[in-house]
Amino acid sequence: MGLVSRVVEEAGIPTVYVSTGRDLTLQVLPPRSIFLNFPMGNPFGRPHDTDMQREILVHALNHAVAAKEPGELVDLPYEWGERILTIMELQSGWSASRPDPVTGKQPT
């Protein structure tokens, strides 16, 4: 995403990356970013929560004009409202097997 943002920025269009992966965002360093501690794939919050989604969008747009330094990352204070499960904890039709504790490999 950082590379795409840089190309768009070179065309004179400001960008803001809305991130749910703070560590990855710090490695990629897009020109401007906001971080929300939400599950991956939900950067604007829960489905149908239009009030929160609008608030996050306003934060992103404000950050587009207020950011002072390249690569600036702002943590937003929103809460998901419950513990975020890892892929290994999800109860779904399919789940990954736990890796072998010695080799770290997935069982076949």
pLDDT, tens only, 86-105: 767 766 656 667 788 888 88
- How many angstroms separate the Cα of 84 from the Cα of each of 7, 75, 80? 33, 17, 8
CB burial readout 83-95, b (16+ within 10 A) else e: eeeeeeeeeeeee
Q: How confident is the model at residue 30 (pLDDT cuts 50, 70, 90)?
A: very high
Has residue 107 got a pLDDT over 80? no
Alpha helices in the chain, H assignment, sequence order = 2-10, 22-28, 50-66
In this predicted structure, what is the pLDDT of residue 93?
57
80: which residues sit within 8 A by CB, 6+ positions away? Answer: 37, 38, 39, 42, 46
Rg (CA), the chain: 17
